[in-house]
Structure 1
Amino acid sequence: MAIAMRRTKQVEPHEDYGFFGPDSVTWKVWSYPSSLTVGFQRAVVVEELDPALIAAVDKTHDIYKRPRTRYDRTLRYFAMVAFGDSRSTSQVADVLVKIHSKAIGTDEVTGIRYDANDPESQLWIHLTAWHSILKAYEMYGPGKLSAEDEEQYWAECRVAAELQTCDQSDIPRNREELHAYYERMRPQLLGSDIAKQAMHHLLNAKVMLPPAPLLLRPGMLAVNAVLRAATIATMPRWMREMGGLRQSRAVDVAVLPIMKASLWLVQVHPRIELAVLGLLSPATVPVVTPILLGVPPTNPEVVTPAEARERYGYDRPREAHLEWRTKQHQRVFGEGAAPSDAGLVESQEMLGRLG
């Protein structure tokens, strides 16, 4: 179902529809409030099972030092891919390569070198995000997609993959291929102590929310408990066991109607959904507002990532900033020095301040 576009005052329109638009399944799925709650929380929790990713996370400790900022910036990036205009999203995808160039090192658990720009690492992040958003939508939203819509969803997932260093050909075309991917990945995943610690930490919604007034704290504790239970309920048993996450089937069943009803109430009016989003991720609100309020872009055009790169002068992510990435490797592996934060600093204009 297309999202109706209408004129609304005092909302800054996007330059164009970006890479998807109102007829896309991406807009249909990602605009439901399950995406910014359970879906995104599931994505950041599940991805910690990758030893290379958790090694980089543990080295910076950003999820512990500035969890709210990191959550805000990451959600804004994914929202830009789904809803942002082609110029801004191409720019942020390009600078993301520079950000990831500092996430390199040697995993102390496995002894293997890691690089956040590695195509396999990017594929894991990309698929866990897109699958988690879909899983949350189907469990707590309108329900399972039709076969036609699901085929289109994974085709659009391949389009989004062009904005990262992973290969489009590696993107599953359907649910069966997605499950086959997880089976290939399982022997490489690791529920290490640092992974379990990170997963439990990220399941605590308090790390993402602003401090609540004393009178509201009991209510926030209840919301946190429900969100945690709802997120764990979306995860298969093998993931839970690997992450040390225990939850009974009774809780899985009990949380379903609570979450479905809560998200239905949130989506009744877009202003309510935007208010919830404002609590979770203020930086994401300007990206999503024109879409939820039906404000058409200045130029009602859907652009491919390839067309955008040619139009705005960016390289494919896999070939982007090769000289800079080589210098980062030399600093870390050759000189034993810390990598430069230049890409991270540069990103503040696009993704929000670091602290």
Structure 2
Amino acid sequence: MALTLRKREPVAPHEDHGFFGPDSVTWRVWSYPTSLTVGFQRAVVIEELDPALVAAVDATKDIRYRPRTRYDRTLRYFALVAFGSTRATSKAADVLVKVHSKAIGTEPLSGNRYDANDPHSQLWIHLTAWHSILYAYERYGPGRLSPQDEARYWEECAIAAELQTCDPADVPRSREGIREYFAQMRPRLAGSEVAQSTMDHLLNAEVMLAPTPRVLAPARWVVNKVLRVATIATMPHWMRKMAGLRQPRALDVLVRPLMRLSFATVHLSRRLELLALGLLSPATVPVVAPILLGVAPERPETLTPAEARERYGYERPAEAHRAWRAKQRARVFERGEAPSDAGLLESEAVLGSMAAAGPPVATGD
């Protein structure tokens, strides 16, 4: 029997429990309101310090032309990985390879080529997201996981990595391993002018929030400012310096009890959580609503990514759409043309519409 968020908005059950299920640490951490707010904002901000990634982002200008739809679609994808059915998530992972096939080019600082499907780039995005989600949960939510639960969390992180082009074997399985990974990445990061500008832009939640009545404008302003302070407060000082971000230590201290109380209050009502999520990412609500509202799936089973690929007929992401990716490289590196947006257009049925002002798209093959 379908539950409803509003009388005319039925909450459809997922086909199954996805890759993790109700007993997983992933569901516990990712379903807390810290995760898809501060946690996710932290992830998309920090990842811009990777020169290759920010070059791809800057080349498309999507976060400038259509920041709301870009944020909405990205958040929906990560929510699908955590909560979606195995069929829907496998489809999203497959189409994302085609989407990323257009994010190729030459990084202006080094002159090296970049490719969003590169395993190292995908690992950076993946670990930044899973680490940020956990860090926000610990800082502004219930607190630190037990050693056993943290070990399970990183094992589940490795499972999720199978949905991207990176190698799950490269995913650290402990807090110490994550620290070592970021220490190894630090010399490769750069606070370029483009990176700093992009990070500052993404810290402005106002460009991400869905439209609201004018009477709520003051509340939007407050939410935006508090989210910015809370997100910066989670960043180490070396990273803030690299990003050109300054914030008084007093704000770091004061925002923590405020956010803990705010998130704990919101968490008292699942419908209030969904209402808040709807302001950030309307496309993510149908993915998360069955989990928060306790809507049982059609089949109470979980699968591994390998089992899902075999059942639904998908290739491993690292091997998927090789011919298409080769065509994209030929367009960009051999003929000097813009990459095709056909993968983006195909993804709309899976990740949500891209309808927003922006430059013309290239659709040829």
Q: Which amino acid letter does the alignment assign opposite residue 24 of structure 1? A: S
1:43 aligns with 2:56: no
Offset at residue 222 of structure 1 (A): 1.4
The match for 1:84 is 84
CA contact (8 A) 1:79 1:284 kept: yes
Aligned mates of 2:217, 2:203 — CA distance in 1:
17
Deviation per CA, 1:239-290, whole angstroms, max 9, x where unpaired?
A: 1111011012111000001111111111101000000111110100110111
Q: Which residue of 2 aligns with 1:162?
A: 162
Tell me which residue corresponds to 1:272.
Answer: 272
| Aligned-residue RMSD, C-alpha | 1.1
**Whole-Å Cα distance in 2 between the matches of residues 159 and 270 of structure 1?**
27
Distance between the aligned counterparts of 1:309 and 1:204, measured in 2? 38
Task: Confirm or deny: 8 A CA contact 2:48 2:199 kept in the other structure.
Answer: yes
- The aligned residue for residue 134 of structure 1 is 134
The answer for the alignment partner of 2:26 in structure 1 is: 26
Distance between the aligned counterparts of 1:111 and 1:165, measured in 2?
A: 23
The runs of 5 or more residues in structure 1 that have no matched partner are 1-5
Structure 1 residues 91-170: aligned runs within 5 Å: 91-170=91-170
Instruction: Name the structure 1 match of 2:329.
Output: 329
Corresponding residue number in structure 2 for 1:306 = 306
Contact residue 163 and residue 305 of structure 1 kept, 8 A:
yes
- Structure 2 match to 1:175: 175
Distance (whole Å) between structure 1 residues aligned to residue 326 and residue 94 of structure 2: 16
Give distance in 1, aligned partners of 2:171 and 2:139: 22
How far 1:212 moved relative to its partner? 4.0
Report the Cα distance in structure 1 between the residues aligned to 2:290 and 2:187, rounded to whole angstroms.
43
Counterpart CA distance in 1 for 2:341 and 2:225 is: 36
Offset of residue 223 of structure 1 = 1.3
Which structure 2 residue ranges, 5 or more long, are not aligned? 5-9, 356-365
Q: Is the 8 A contact 1:7 1:294 kept in 2?
A: no
- Work out the CA distance in 2 between the residues paired with 1:223 and 1:32: 18
Shift of 1:220: 1.6
Q: Which amino acid aligns with 1:176?
A: E
TM-score, normalising length from structure 2?
A: 0.94
Q: Matched residues in 2 for 1:203 and 1:307: separation?
A: 38
Task: Determine if contact 2:210/2:282 at 8 Å carries over to the other structure.
Answer: no
Aligned residues: 350
C-alpha displacement of 1:218: 2.1
| Greater Cα offset, 341-350 or 7-16 | 7-16
Structure 2 CA distance, aligned partners of 1:8 and 1:210? Answer: 24
- Is the CA contact 2:229–2:255 (under 8 Å) kept in the aligned structure 1? yes
Q: Which residue does the alignment assign to 1:194?
A: 194
CA distance in 2, matches of 1:121, 1:39: 19
Q: Distance in 2 between matches of 1:32 and 1:353?
A: 26
Aligned match of 1:260: 260
Using the TM superposition, give the Cα deviation of residue 216 of structure 1 relative to its aligned residue in structure 2, in angstroms: 2.3
Paired AA for residue 83 in structure 2: F
TM-score, scaled to structure 1: 0.97
- For residue 131 of structure 2, what is the amino acid of its counterpart? H
Distance 1:69 1:248 in 2: 32
Deviations along 1:179-223, one digit per CA (max 9) or x if unpaired, are 100011011100000000000000001010134444322222111
Partner of 2:219: 219
1:4-23 alignment, distance < 5 Å: 8=3, 10-23=10-23
Letter in 1 for 2:304: T
